[in-house]
Structure 1
Amino acid sequence: MSKITKTATGFLAAVLAAGVSLAASAETHTLRIQTHYAPETVSGKLATQFVDDVQTMSNGELKIEMFYSSSVVKSVEAFDAAATGILDGDMTGGAYQTGKNPAFQFVGDIMGGYDTPWQQYAWLYNGGFKAANNLYNKYDMELIGWWIYGQESLASSKSLAGIDDLKDFKFRSPPGLETEIFASLGAKPIVMDFTEIFTALETKIIDGADASGLANNVSLGLYDLVSNATYPGFHSMPSDHLAINKGKWDALPEHLKRIIQVAMQKLAFQTALTFEIKNSEAAAKLRAANVTLHDWSAEDRAAFRKAAQGAWQGWAEKTPEARALVDSHTAFLKQLGLIKE
């Protein structure tokens, strides 16, 4: 073997040895995250893919231990559990935290705001992220991103063809901002637990329900009891989030932060895309089963949005963070033409 060959061989061996040494010494990070979704649900499967994406792209440097079905703490407690280190991350939604600060309403369910997930994502990634993350940082958490499944649909035993049909409409509603908006339009929202919806419809205690998106409502069996639905929806589009303990986030190397952010944006895309298809499939089946789907006119949608934004202003006065988010959404909705000057 020539002297040059020996030198090259020795150099290559040194490089390989250094590579092995670096790989062996690479620090492994673990994030313990809880979601309220069960692993067999569509959203649960999407979350599982997110975990796989992060672990694969990080070449094993970042491991995620996902706790499904709120198996560590209750869904409403996941945020605080992550902030205090019981968990590292919360994959539920900001709307659970409105008791902590009313501003969380405007990162959790921006009622009467955007028509599509894409518009709502556009706000987040085109100026809204700073205001939103300032809120999360106040509670020692870092907002990573959203995954939005689309507009929810009302299920009803009576026609819901437009805003006039809301008068005296008795329906199951979650507490808070939604009850204020619908009551201002003449409806009679009744706050009750999600698990009570089916029985309340069956016994005609209520005319309808705000439960979930169209496909999920079908799986709940709501349209076995009632024959009207709003689709595409107009009133509610919840944003599930990924929020991570700020200290844990700040300690991650920059390349791992970037991997999580990119994987989160993929999850956002796949969630909106998947549910758009599933809701369309559900709509076709319901039409075939003689369920009437009511697509509100632009005028009626604008009227609901106006009523919603009247309620927004009352909530905006509650905290500086709520005011900042309401002003940010209002400006962006005007930019999109969804609010007229």
Structure 2
Amino acid sequence: MQRSSIAKAITLAGASGLLLVGAQAQAQDTFEWKLVTSWPKNFPGVGQGPERLAKLVEEMSDGRLTIEVFGAGQLVPGFEVFDAVAEGTAQMGHSASYYWKGKAPAAQFFAAVPFGMNAQEMNAWLHYGGGLELWNELYDDFGVEVMTAGASGVQMGGWYNQEINSVDDLDGLKMRMPGLGGEVMNRMGVAIVNMPGGEIFTSLQSGAIDATEWIGPYNDLAFGLHQAAEYYYYPGWHEPTVMFEAIVNDEALAELPADLQAILRTAVRDVNQDVLDEYTARNNDALATLINEHDVQLRKLPDDVLAQAQEISAEVVQELADSSDIAGRIYESYRDFQDKVVNYHAISEQAYYNARNPDGGTDFGQE
């Protein structure tokens, strides 16, 4: 009996050891991913977000998950990021969802809505108001999962090679502006041209376009847009923020052990806040540089332009909401959340801004 018990114990111990070794081997599996973006490699702000993500993931996973980042055009063109991830050419992508309006028109709601929610409000809706669940439902048929991966904050109204004094001055202009804002401008008489960021400067300089919006002072200065257009307009009514997305191939994500999935999600959430923080910090000095060192003419968009843009925006957004069941549900959720947050911010954020800056606070040291 004693010999039998000892034999059983040895057998069980051996089996347990094999299971432990197997679990340890599985835990030490390594994964090498490709991440494609719609931005130039290492471009300030939005382009550096994916680089930070890759660094965080490698450090947090002790090298078990490494991510190689490709800028627009290095592996696939900037506007083919979604397809590359959906088809498995790359396991991950970083972009903005309004570029995929041809595949999923309702995706535009998650990038930027004219006169809609800002970055703080969008993050609240996406993470605590059901927005992210709807975004993933929209992408389900494409075999990708989406996570929020940064925000621009309120953008600028754009660069123009002529002064805009009224709505009439927009008629016939050729302008680069994506998403719902581009459709609004189109109905205001502007010919909209879509192109990735890396093509903007040469197109503006050559006269292929008369105006453009990109992101804001930090990125616009990096692209040298002040060398191709003199007038810089605000506010960015068309993009109160752009939410950047990290899209992940479903099959690739499922292959990761649970701890690596958690590491990836945590790193993306960190980058989501970090990108917005950097834009908030860098735009201030960049705008001062554009004005004081490069003689850029900062202008506020005329009241009639803003009024007409707001009126047409309501029509464009409602038409999109009416285009499909899921678009309607997304917009209903978006609108309900915006109504609530606007009411609260009227007596919190907005009231504080008005009290802190009774003069408007628009002095950037113009001489």
TM class by smaller structure: 0.7 to 0.9
Q: Is 1:171–1:210's contact at 8 Å kept on the other side of the alignment?
A: no
Count of residue pairs brought into register by the alignment: 322
Distance 1:92 1:295 in 2: 29
Which residue, 228, 231, 236 being the options, matches 1:228?
A: 231
Change (3 A) 1:31 1:41: same
Q: Is 1:145–1:261's contact at 8 Å kept on the other side of the alignment?
A: no
**Corresponding residue for 1:14?**
none
Change (3 A) 1:230 1:183: same
**Corresponding residue for 1:311?**
316
Q: Is 2:150–2:272's contact at 8 Å kept on the other side of the alignment?
A: yes
Q: Is 2:185–2:192's contact at 8 Å kept on the other side of the alignment?
A: no
Change (3 A) 1:68 1:183: closer
Matched, 1:272 2:276: yes
CA offsets per residue over residues 213-249 of structure 1, 9 Å max, x none? 2222223333234332234522223332111111222
Report 1:239-254 matches (<5 A): 239-254=243-258
**Corresponding residue for 2:326?**
321
Change (3 A) 1:214 1:166: farther
**Corresponding residue for 2:64?**
61
Structure 2 letter corresponding to 1:191: V
Matched, 1:191 2:155: no
Give the SS at the match of 2:114. coil
Change (3 A) 1:205 1:302: same
**TM-score of the two chains, using structure 2 as the length reference:** 0.75
Distance 2:33 2:80 in 1: 17
Report 1:258-297 matches (<5 A): 258-289=262-293, 290-294=295-299
Distance 2:33 2:150 in 1: 19
**Corresponding residue for 2:16?**
none
* Structure 1 unmatched ranges of 5 or more: 1-17
Q: Is 1:113–1:305's contact at 8 Å kept on the other side of the alignment?
A: no
User: Cα distance, 1:143 vs. partner?
Assistant: 0.9
Change (3 A) 1:263 1:198: closer
Give the SS at the match of 2:232. strand
Distance 1:38 1:193 in 2: 13
Report 1:1-341 matches (<5 A): 23-26=24-27, 27-42=29-44, 43-115=46-118, 117-126=119-128, 127-153=130-156, 154-159=158-163, 165-169=166-170, 170-174=173-177, 177-184=180-187, 186-191=188-193, 193=195, 198=201, 201=204, 207-236=210-239, 237-289=241-293, 290-294=295-299, 304-337=309-342
Change (3 A) 1:19 1:196: closer
Structure 1 letter corresponding to 2:271: L
Structure 2 letter corresponding to 1:166: V
* CA RMSD, 1 decimal: 3.5
Give the SS at the match of 1:92. strand
CA offsets per residue over residues 27-62 of structure 1, 9 Å max, x none? 333332212333332233332221111121122332
Change (3 A) 1:283 1:187: farther
Distance 1:286 1:243 in 2: 34
Distance 1:32 1:158 in 2: 42
Give the SS at the match of 2:182. helix
More off after superposition, 323-332 vs 68-77? 68-77
Change (3 A) 1:31 1:199: closer
Distance 1:49 1:60 in 2: 15
Structure 2 letter corresponding to 1:243: I
* Structure 2 unmatched ranges of 5 or more: 1-18, 347-367
Give the SS at the match of 1:44. helix
User: Cα distance, 1:281 vs. partner?
Assistant: 1.0
**Paired-residue identity, %:** 25
Structure 2 letter corresponding to 1:312: V
User: Cα distance, 1:312 vs. partner?
Assistant: 0.8
Change (3 A) 1:60 1:196: closer
Structure 1 letter corresponding to 2:145: E
CA offsets per residue over residues 61-120 of structure 1, 9 Å max, x none? 3222333334222222222222222221121222221111211111233333223x2222
Structure 2 letter corresponding to 1:123: W
Give the SS at the match of 2:169. coil
Distance 1:176 1:241 in 2: 15
Distance 2:279 2:332 in 1: 29
Distance 2:149 2:291 in 1: 31
Structure 2 letter corresponding to 1:326: Y
